[in-house]
């Protein structure tokens, strides 16, 4: 009988500089998608988008309604709260095929929908 073995999750280490206070931080990402990074020095929130190869496609400061503790927090944008057209753009961003304008558009829409706060 053959047993299926799942490959180990790849992970990448990133050094990020807080866009509010300039503090440098190291985070480890192991899956594509969206995450929120919270600076442990000043509490500023940043949205991160990783593509399928774990390349960092976007690192933008965002305002949030409820503060998160310092660190790295994966975010799911699946579900009914995200319109289908936005999901298509976000899928392109995660796949690494979105243009810079599409990335900016996605951020603007997410902010207008209060999904980023």
Q: For residue 103, what pLDDT is reported?
A: 77
Among candidate residues 59, 58, 54, 57, the one with its CA nearest the CA of residue 25: 59
Q: Is residue 6 part of a domain?
A: no
> Quick check: is 86 in a domain?
yes
* Domain hosting residue 86, numbered range: 12-112
Task: Count how many residues are written for the chain.
Answer: 117
- In DSSP terms, 38 is beta-bridged to 45, 71
| 61 is a domain residue | yes
What φ, ψ does residue 46 adopt, rounded to 5°? -135, 140
Q: In tens digits, what is the pLDDT along the chain, a chain of 117 residues?
A: 445 444 555 889 999 999 999 999 999 998 888 888 889 999 888 888 888 888 988 888 887 656 667 677 666 666 655 666 677 777 777 777 878 787 777 777 777 666 665
pLDDT value for 77: 63
Task: Please write the tens of the pLDDT for every residue from 42-58.
Answer: 988 888 888 888 898 88
Alpha carbon 81 to chain centroid, angstroms: 17
The answer to whether 33 and 22 are in contact (CB under 8 A) is no
Please list the helix, strand and coil fractions of the chain in percent, rounded to the nearest 5, in that order: 20, 30, 50
* Assigned domain for 3 exists: no
Number of domains the chain contains: 1
Residue 22 confidence (pLDDT):
95
């Amino acid at each position: 009988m053959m047993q299926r073995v799942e490959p180990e999750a790849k992970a990448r280490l990133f050094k990020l500089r807080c866009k509010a206070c300039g503090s440098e931080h190291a985070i480890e990402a192991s899956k594509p998608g969206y995450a929120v990074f919270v600076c442990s020095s000043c509490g500023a929130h940043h949205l991160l988008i990783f593509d399928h190869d774990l390349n960092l496609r976007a690192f933008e400061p965002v305002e949030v309604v409820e503060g998160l503790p310092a660190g790295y927090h994966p975010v799911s944008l699946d579900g009914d709260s995200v319109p289908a057209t936005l999901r298509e753009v976000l899928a392109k961003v995660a796949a690494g095929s979105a243009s810079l304008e599409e990335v900016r558009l996605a951020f603007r829409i997410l902010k207008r929908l209060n999904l980023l706060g």
